Amino acid sequence: MLLKDKVAIVTGSASGIGKEIAMEYARQGAKVVIADLALDAAQATANEIIAAGGVAMAVAMNVMDEEQVDKGVADTVAAFGGVDVLISNAGIQIISPLIDLGLDQWKKMLAIHLDGAFLTTRACMRAMIAGGRGGSIIYMGSVHSHLASPLKSPYVTAKHGLLGLAKAVAKEGAKDGIRSNVICPGFVRTPLVDKQIPEQAKTLGISENDVIKNVMLRDTVDGEFTTVQDVAQTAVFLAAFGTNALTGQSVTVSHGWHMQ
């Protein structure tokens, strides 16, 4: 068990990548906080973990809401005695040409990915410093933290921004034993991706199969999707790493789509 008794908050963990990270963390002995928009959805994931013999609690947390974020972290400290790991994972996708994008859509994307990362980081860093036992902060970036695709301008902008935040946190957190890294997955079959396949097919005027083969997986070494388990194993590795040698980095998990 690589994360025995570590307390981990995972945002956006009622679904997809975040859910698998939460389940894997629990299998590795962590006490996991499922933080998501709707309490019932978060509770359902927590219940799955508890039924499998793990330790979990659910909190309702819109990562854009300062009060909810601070309360969720305070409730975590009250229940589990501190915070050791933050996985800042909550996110959305919007498929649109830049020239058709509304300012409200642009702001929403940056608010979820960047304001959300800032607010959860600030609350967890404060708790980690108060606890005096260091910590690990992991952002869910993307291959789009390093390169761009058409129709995703605010997503690409936000995911690039996380690299800067992670580097700043690595610098400021070091004196308190806080490390900060970014995971950059390629395409993973989650609800977020399943929704954009028909949207991209319509906007690009091609079939859904062509979107998968010739847009999403074209530049991988083997035409394979990355899996939620691939990403979860990377999140375990980063959180369990023992020294400050691995901080301020991004790790790409994408079947060779992007090579750093």
Contact assessment for residue 114 and residue 35, using Cβ atoms and an 8 Å cutoff: no
Q: Which is nearer to ligand NAD, 175 or 233 (CB)?
A: 233
Q: Active site residue: 25, 80, 139, 155, which one?
A: 155
Q: Residues 162-198, buried b or exposed e (16+ Cβ, 10 A)?
A: bbebbbebbeebeeeebbbbbbbbbbbebebbeebbe
Q: How crowded is residue 249: how many other Cβ atoms within 10 Å of its Cβ?
A: 17
Contact between 90 and ligand NAD by CB under 6 A: the answer reads: yes
Q: Is 155 annotated in the active site?
A: yes
Give yes or no for residue 11 binding ligand NAD (CB under 6 A).
Answer: yes
* Residues 124 and 73: beta-carbon distance below 8 Å: yes
3 state DSSP class of 135: strand
Structure tokens at 13: 């963990």
Count the helices and strands in the chain (H runs, E runs): 9, 7
Closest CA to 135 of 96, 80, 82: 82
Residue 142 near ligand NAD by CB under 6 A = yes
| Per-residue binding letters, 192-211, with ligand NAD (x by CB under 6 A) | xx------------------
Q: Which stretch binds ligand NAD (CB under 6 A): 49-57, 183-191, 197-205, 233-241?
A: 183-191
185 lies in the site for ligand NAD, by CB under 6 A: yes
Q: Interface mask (CB under 6 A) for ligand NAD, residues 106-135, using x and -?
A: ------x---x-------------------
Residue from 53, 78, 103, 191 in contact with ligand NAD (CB under 6 A): 191
CB of 179 to ligand NAD, least distance (A): 20
- Whether 112 and 92 have beta carbons less than 8 Å apart is answered as yes
Could you list the active site residues?
Answer: 155
Interface residues with ligand NAD (CB under 6 A)? 11-12, 14-18, 36-37, 61-64, 89-92, 112, 116, 140, 142, 185, 187-188, 190-193
